Structure 1
Amino acid sequence: MGTRNAEDRLATGSGTEPAVDITDLYAAHRLQLVRMAVLLVDDFGAAEDVVQDAFAALARRPDAVRDPSKTLAYLRVSVLNTARSALRRRRTARAYAPPDDVAPPGPEDAAVLAEEHREVIVALHTLAPRQREVLVLRYWSNLSEAEIARTLEISTGTVKSTASRALVALEKAMSGTTAGKEER
């Protein structure tokens, strides 16, 4: 038995020993498969990983190849498919552009926002009570029109029309607030 080479043992597969000796197969064909993988993935480290993955897959499923003489062909196909997957992952990674870092809001941003909130609240108090209630429930409490209707004991149609009128009135009040501010 010691004089037979790895390919002879692949082809025969006696009943007492496994049909494929992965260790001998690895020793005999690893370099050839790595060379093939290098041409596919253009990186020696990645090529070694591709070949290692192909042999690991064969070791996990030694019954994947029914005919031992086709084991090398199976490994070549496995290397090819794994190289394709590696190239797809590489292409996806290169295409990914992380979102631009947005600077945290500074003190001036907080001041502007606080002023805008103050102006909205002042304008909100100029609305009729029902209009103010509908807008607060809709936009601050995030209730649906049906939930607002149940809460205020009015129809959903009334909620819709009140919200529409309230937004128009709020916009007018806000433009009056900013116009008065610009005159100063």
Structure 2
Amino acid sequence: MRAATPDSSIPDGSTRDDDARRWSADDAIGALFAAHYRGLVRLAVLLLHDEGVAEDVVQDAYVALHRRWRRLRDADKALAYLRTSVLNGARSALRKRGVAERHIARGPDGPLIVASAETGALSLLRHREVLEAVRRLPTRQREAIVLRYYAELSEAEIADAMGVSRGAVKSHASRGMQALRQSLEAAL
């Protein structure tokens, strides 16, 4: 494996030529992994509510990017590709979970939920209420809210990740915030 040359750096927003992209996929993916893995896992956890599945989704996104690295037209868009892959992977996992939940036999009282001692603290309860309210949002609204307020992406980046227009992002985010306000006010 060769070291990066001065005119071709790891994809951190800088540009690289096609030749450098071919021989440095491992270096590029490694740098992206080091810089963005934790943030992408947090994003997936917020969408999926399951850390193990979230890690799998993010790892699958990195593997897919590595496989496609030579065909990637613009190395500067590798992070956007990863975000979109994570979002699509989370959607797929949620669909699979929904199918599984519809086919799982439940007892008369539903699943058993055991609360920990820490959940008695007011701040944790409020945090849980907010997360539950976000979980109840429709998928597109939840995605727009998480990408906007947690991942701190711009409207253009969110639109790119979700595969919708900027206007649709504004609409989903606005409706999501309105639904959150109503849900949290009702809980008070």
Normalised TM-score (structure 1): 0.46
Q: Which is greater in Rg?
A: 1
Normalised TM-score (structure 2): 0.45
Higher RCO (CA < 8 A, seq sep 6+): 2
